[in-house]
């Protein structure tokens, strides 16, 4: 028989047990965080009708989508979680309560060139709040609070949520008589960090922007300082454009609410260079960066949009949401040394080593442990004692329990703390309580933290 060489496709992440447990812990923390804010979990099919996924169509999506036929059906793998959400809300509109608050963690597929930190199959984690006709500005202020809570719960500290409002940008360019060119101008301005102001000015002049207007644009995006200073500078433009004024009101409201939502000012900054999704976002926009690693780019982004499901229903469904590319974030955290190896979750809290031919007492003790909320594994393989202990050590299992003829006759279990080497013989019920208390104390630690 000719054997096939095992391999994993390029652009598809496959983890060994230790990092997989870290990844699962990350998902657990995010799910818990979102539930604190009243979001409901949602799952949608990985495969949808190509017609549904490509309703908006065009551009990079057409090139990157995985599309195939099965019988007469034209099918595709989802490339994000927003389009499936739009379909879901349009389909179940009559059965949902609005505002509809959902989070979804799932795999998406994009046939783009695989490279470091960029994958073809990857997990996205989205949260969105969808309104029926209207959606209050308070929802736009809550989103940064959720980002802050989630990243802090993951053990990250040095990150900043950068916020802008698309209406401010739209209104500003309208003031300059550049409404028609605003999309191209914003794309040019977006290169400021990479190429500097002089080259941005040169590109603007090439696009037909007057020297005076180019100067105004560069002055505008150079407005920096703390949030109060930026808002104060923006007040100088008030009264010249209605859209601008509306955006300024919204941005000031978001900033005002953030303190009440518990977001420290050093984790949040008004940044007028952020544009995002020119043909999609209509109000507040967000990007989150890691301060020590700006080269990574945004690790969490999103914003306010006016009409989620316009391709599927005539109902006006405004919303606000963010997306985290979890696979990329996890990869980057690993690359930068932020994943804490000492806190990898073991597959069990206790490894039970039966020292008798009859496994019944060991199995009964494992059942007792599980009923007490302790994860237990019975090691029934016929190996030498050293090999059994090596197994526990390799998997970082915190406790080993021994059950031999002597322990069984005395009605006790001998338990060993693998970290300290301490051993004690206890009645089974007391052994369960002891291990459960120790594991609860350990659970207070975090599996993912940033270097201090």
Measured CA distances, 452 to 32, 292, 341 (Å): 25, 11, 15
pLDDT value of residue 160 = 93
For residue 382, the SS3 value is coil
* pLDDT (average), residues 414-428: 93
Q: How far apart are CA 348 and CA 377, in angstroms?
A: 6
Quick check: 342 pLDDT over 70? no
438 vs 112: which has the higher pLDDT: 438
Cα torsion angle, 45, 49, 52, 53, sign: positive
pLDDT value of residue 246 = 96
Quick check: 261 pLDDT over 50? yes
pTM: 0.83
The model's pLDDT over 377-392, given as tens digits with 9 standing for 90+, comes to 999 988 888 998 999 9
**Residues paired with residue 304 on neighbouring β-strands, in sequence order:** 320
Q: Are 25 and 447 in contact (CB under 8 A)?
A: yes
Measured CA distances, 198 to 72, 191, 224, 249, 428 (Å): 56, 11, 18, 32, 75
Q: How far apart are CA 350 and CA 392, in angstroms?
A: 9
Confidence of residue 115 (pLDDT cuts 50, 70, 90): low
Closest CA to 148 of 300, 302, 339: 300
pLDDT value of residue 197 = 84
Q: How far apart are CA 246 and CA 317, in angstroms?
A: 20
Q: How far apart are CA 382 and CA 361, in angstroms?
A: 17
In the numeric block, which tokens belong to residue 25?
Answer: 């812990």
**Percent of the chain, pLDDT > 90?**
58
pLDDT value of residue 446 = 47
pLDDT value of residue 273 = 85
In the numeric block, which tokens belong to residue 330?
Answer: 């996890």
Q: How far apart are CA 317 and CA 308, in angstroms?
A: 5
* pLDDT (average), residues 198-221: 87
For residue 20, the SS3 value is helix
Q: Are 206 and 287 in contact (CB under 8 A)?
A: no
The model's pLDDT over 55-80, given as tens digits with 9 standing for 90+, comes to 876 666 778 889 999 999 999 999 99
What does the mean pLDDT of the chain come to?
A: 88
Q: How do strand 47-49 and strand 121-130 relate by DSSP bridges?
A: unpaired
Quick check: 452 pLDDT over 70? no
Residue 391, C-beta contacts closer than 8 angstroms, at least 6 positions apart: 351, 379, 383
Q: How far apart are CA 192 and CA 200, in angstroms?
A: 6
pLDDT value of residue 113 = 75
Closest CA to 96 of 151, 20, 42, 175: 42
Closest CA to 82 of 331, 328, 277: 277
Q: How do strand 281-290 and strand 376-378 relate by DSSP bridges?
A: unpaired
* pLDDT (average), residues 326-354: 78
416 vs 188: which has the higher pLDDT: 416
Determine which helix (DSSP H) or strand (DSSP E) holds 285, and give its type and residue range. strand 281-290
Concatenated DSSP letters for 338-366?
-B-GGGPPPS-SEEEEE-SS--HHHHHHH
Quick check: 206 pLDDT over 60? yes
Q: How far apart are CA 440 and CA 274, in angstroms?
A: 43
């Amino acid at each position: 028989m000719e054997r096939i060489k095992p391999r994993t496709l390029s652009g598809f992440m496959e983890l060994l047990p230790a990092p997989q447990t870290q990844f699962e812990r990350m998902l657990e923390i995010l799910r818990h965080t979102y539930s604190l804010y009243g979001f409901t979990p949602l799952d949608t099919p990985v495969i949808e009708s190509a017609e549904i996924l490509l309703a908006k169509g065009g551009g990079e999506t057409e090139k990157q989508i995985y599309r195939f036929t099965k019988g007469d059906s034209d099918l595709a793998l989802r490339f994000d979680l927003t389009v499936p959400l739009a379909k879901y809300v349009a389909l179940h509109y009559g059965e949902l309560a609005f505002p509809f608050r959902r989070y979804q963690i799932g795999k998406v597929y994009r046939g783009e060139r695989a490279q470091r930190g960029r994958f073809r199959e990857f997990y996205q984690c989205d949260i969105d709040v969808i309104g029926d006709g209207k959606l209050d500005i308070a929802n736009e202020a809550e989103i940064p609070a959720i980002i802050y809570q989630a990243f802090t719960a993951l053990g990250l500290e040095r990150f900043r949520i950068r916020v802008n409002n698309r209406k401010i940008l739209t209104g500003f360019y309208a003031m300059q008589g550049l409404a028609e060119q605003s999309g191209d101008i914003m794309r040019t301005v977006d290169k400021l960090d990479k190429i500097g102001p002089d080259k941005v000015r040169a590109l603007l002049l090439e696009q037909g922007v007057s020297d005076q207007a180019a100067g105004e644009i560069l002055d505008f995006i150079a407005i920096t300082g703390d949030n109060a200073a930026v808002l104060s500078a923006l007040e100088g433009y008030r009264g010249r454009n209605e859209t601008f004024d509306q955006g300024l009101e919204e941005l000031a409201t978001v900033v005002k609410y953030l303190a009440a939502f518990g977001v420290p000012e050093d984790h949040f900054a008004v940044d007028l260079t952020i544009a995002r999704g020119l043909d999609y976002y209509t109000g507040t926009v967000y990007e989150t960066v890691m301060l020590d690693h700006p080269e990574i780019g945004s690790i969490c982004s999103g914003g306010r949009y006016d009409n989620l499901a316009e391709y599927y229903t005539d109902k006006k469904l405004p919303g606000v949401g963010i997306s985290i590319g979890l696979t990329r974030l996890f990869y980057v955290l690993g690359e930068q040394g932020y994943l804490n190896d000492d806190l990898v979750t073991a597959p069990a809290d206790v490894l039970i080593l039966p020292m008798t031919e009859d496994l019944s007492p060991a199995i009964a003790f494992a059942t007792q442990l599980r009923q007490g909320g302790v994860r237990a594994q019975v090691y029934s393989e016929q190996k030498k004692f050293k090999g059994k202990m090596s197994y526990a050590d390799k998997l970082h299992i915190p406790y080993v329990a021994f059950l031999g003829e002597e322990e069984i006759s005395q009605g006790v279990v001998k338990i060993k703390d693998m970290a300290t080497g301490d051993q004690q013989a206890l009645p089974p019920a007391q052994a369960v309580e002891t291990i459960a208390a120790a594991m609860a104390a350990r659970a207070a630690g975090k599996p993912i933290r940033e270097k201090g």
